[in-house]
A and B are shown apart, each in its own frame.
Chain A
Amino acid sequence: MNRVDRAFHGQDGAGTLLIGYATAGFPDPETSARVAAALLEHCDLLELGLPFSDPVLDGPVIQESSRRALEAGFRISEVFDLAADLRVKTEKPLLLMTYYNPVHRVGESAFARMAATAGFDGLLVPDLPLEESGSLRAEAASHGIAAVLFASMTTPDERLGAIAEATRGFLYCFAVKGTTGLRASLAGDLAPFMARVRSRCRVPLALGLGISNPGQCREAGKLADAVVVGSALVKASMDALDGGGDPAEAAGELAASLRASLRNR
């Protein structure tokens, strides 16, 4: 059984899982490794984002962290090195978040193999919808990696069913119509959306995009099996970095408070 499946199966009503996020190579390989390790102390799963030059689904924070990682000379191999280093220390699931073009450039088969060898358990490609992802899903499956698909409030019912059938590990539900990033409040129609997804999908559901503080995390946690927090964690480390603090400590502290908000739902 894949580590992602184990994480969700082992839930036993103990509470909602927390999925954290770090941009690989931001601001440099060593620091991003420390940030990732700090997040793993409190998160149940960790997404590592592969910086891309044109991140169309990302808001200002992850755009900025990606830009700075690339400016520092980030290469694809670094995300695999990072995962391999973390894998030695943890049995928690590691998920690779990347736009499709780097995968296409390296080759789907080679990319899936490299991800598996590095110790990744899941692969998320937000610009690769159901129809375009068949071959990559097959490659991922053959390497024991869960290819996670996405659902949006704009997704019609019938399509939701097809996506739920094709996704592996869990279904990533977008909490907002928009890009990643911090927002003042959660969307008002989140509960009916999640009810709609729940009634059509038997897979575990993660809710992410725009969830940035413990209050929002607690609210989202009532609707999903896992909550994803990305930009807020990156912002915490970025702010600490720019203010002369310790980015790993800052990200870890926020992750701890997010984790606490999900207990005893």
Chain B
Amino acid sequence: MREKKAIPVEDKGMGAPPSDGRFGDFGGRFVPETLVAPLAELEEAYAEAAGDPAFRRELEHYLGHYAGRPTPLYEARRLSAELGGATIFLKREDLCHTGSHKINNTLGQCLLARRMGKRRVIAETGAGQHGVATATAAALMGLECEVFMGETDMARQELNVFRMELLGAGVVPVRTGSRTLKDAVNEALRDWVATSDHTHYCMGSVVGPHPFPTMVRDFQSVIGREARAQHLELTGRLPDCLVACVGGGSNSMGLFHPFLADGVRMVGVEAGGTGPEPGRHGSTLCLGSPGVLHGARSYLLQDDDGQILETHSISAGLDYPGVGPEHSFLKESGRAEYVNVGDSEALLAVELLCRSEGILPALESAHAVACAAKIAATMPRGSSMVVCLSGRGDKDVGTLMAARRTAR
């Protein structure tokens, strides 16, 4: 029998007390002067909206009736049995409308943009999931939408490019730097410096200048709030371990945050790519050092001169040399641990989950599954783990086919 812990279900909404945007030594607002006032305006508008029951009701309405929440917390019995340790529960964010957790954040931000009287939203995207989610929410709210996407990512995620265009968004190819997510953020910031009076920057992860890391975390915390309540209802107690992938870190922060006070073990999984050498991975917390990029102080992949390094991951969504400042804080404080999983392990995890449970995970989420499989096997029977299945893998089928052909 499982031990029962008497922990009440917290139903805390958004609107955590306004923070100064600092997570210990991390976070802040390192931006050109032109963006200081727009960020202050955003901070104020968000604080006001988060405290307004009507705004929260509207967001909850869309999350429930449009995005399909709550998502199931599914006990993966065959996978758990195969691994022979902890019981694995999958938080099924892949079942959200548009196929990933990204919609939780874009519904919140697009509602906020409309409330602020902005007529246009812009976004950066790597895998295309945030771009699709932004284009979707923008269509729903009647907002113009432009998505910045690195050319490299446009090639490997062409289905998502087409989806965004179908949804009425413009996709702007970014041809600078490594032509991936980092460069898309640069280009979106450059646009926003010039357009902030009528444009909201819908940041896709818990990165960027204050208030983005706090606001995106709050919108994504619905993942952890649901998972916590569902796990309590299913088992009568809290899970022993949480596992989620970390690119910028929004699905992991969304899962972790409601458990911060609980003492539950938390593991964030970064992209190990093809090796630990510079340029071959996206393991910012495991292999990087503190610095300032995209408006916040956080861990970074950089050289001795502070130039940002190129990254690699088979998953476009984890191919990023930065990470959310709150993750840096959780790492330094020891509250969460961060590990990495390479391309080939992630590919194996895709197959494992397909065969054992009939679920095709996104390559990003497959990193979490691969790590979870390793940890679960070492945990005692009767213990349990929640893995955030942040997105579905349909977008990656082309990459998976190519990888299989190469392997043969």
- By a beta-carbon cutoff of 8 Å, the part of chain A in contact with chain B is 52-57, 59, 63, 67, 70, 75-76, 100-106, 126-132, 149-156, 159, 163, 174, 176-179
Contacts and interface: CB of A to CB of B under 8 A. Distances in A.
Nearest to B190: A179
Contact of B34 (A52, A59, A100, A154): A154
Interface in B28-57: 28-38
B306 A178 contact: no
Given A104-B290, A132-B30, 8 more contacts: A54-B186, A56-B189, A76-B305, A100-B30, A102-B305, A106-B306, A127-B295, A179-B193
A154 B308 CA distance: 29
Interface in B172-216: 176-177, 182-183, 186, 189-190, 193-194, 196-197
Contacts of A149: 33
A101 B300 CA distance: 10
Nearest to A127: B30
B292 interface: yes
A55 B293 CA distance: 10
Contacts of B306: 52, 76, 101-106
B contact patch SS: mixed
B293 A54 contact: yes
A153 to B, nearest CB: 8
A126 B196 CA distance: 18
Contact of B307 (A102, A130, A132, A154): A102
Contacts of B193: 56-57, 177-179
Contact of A152 (B33, B176, B297, B308): B33
B304 interface: yes
Interface of B: 28-38, 176-177, 182-183, 186, 189-190, 193-194, 196-197, 290-295, 297, 300, 302, 304-308
Contact of A174 (B33, B294, B300): B33
20 contacts: A56-B186, A56-B190, A67-B177, A70-B307, A101-B291, A103-B306, A104-B306, A105-B305, A105-B306, A127-B31, A127-B292, A129-B33, A132-B30, A150-B32, A150-B33, A154-B36, A176-B194, A177-B193, A178-B190, A179-B194
Contacts of B194: 176-179
Contacts of A54: 177, 182-183, 186, 293-294, 308
A153 B36 CA distance: 11
Contact of B190 (A59, A67, A75): A59
A103 B306 CA distance: 8
Contacts of A76: 305-306
A125 to B, nearest CB: 9
A132 B39 CA distance: 14
